[in-house]
Amino acid sequence: MRFLLDENISPQTGKLLKYWGFDVSSIAGKDMRGVGDLEVIRIAKKEKRVIITQDLDFGRVYYFMMKADVGIIVIRQKRIQTVEMVNQALKRLFEFIRKENINEEIFTRSLTIITEKKIRIVTK
């Protein structure tokens, strides 16, 4: 999978994803901090990347505007999220993908929400 990290995802998470073998780009790395959600989506669509974010607004944008046009992974936890918590949430997602034998292609056109207790994949 190819990922685009929103500006609220640490570069350390990007390094871990690269270590795991993923193609990773980031808004911060593009020196584009502060761009709006629609611009992040435009970049992800152009580069064929799945957005990883902690910004809950992306869920609303996906649901109301971009169904199946872009993949978005929202990490949503009640407590303040540390880099370790974000990394652990992504690790749970990839373990879930392997365990359930899910085709990674589904993530390029779905909204995936990772909470402390569950993983939910919303498709159009």
CA distances from 58 to 11, 76, 83, 91, 102 (A): 20, 11, 20, 21, 23
Tell me the mean pLDDT in the region 25-50. 87
> For residue 96, what are the domain limits?
2-122
User: Looking at residue 96, which CATH number applies to its domain?
Assistant: 3.40.50
Pairwise pLDDT comparison (46 vs 69), residue with the higher score:
46
Place of tokens 């992800």: 44
Q: What is the pTM of this model?
A: 0.89
**Is the predicted pLDDT of residue 1 greater than 70, yes or no?**
yes
**Is the predicted pLDDT of residue 120 greater than 70, yes or no?**
yes
Confidence of residue 77 (pLDDT cuts 50, 70, 90): confident
Q: How many domains does the chain have?
A: 1
The dihedral built from the CA positions of residue 84, 61, 59 and 92, taken in this order, carries a sign that is negative
| Region of poorest pLDDT, from 10-14, 42-46, 58-62, 67-71 | 58-62
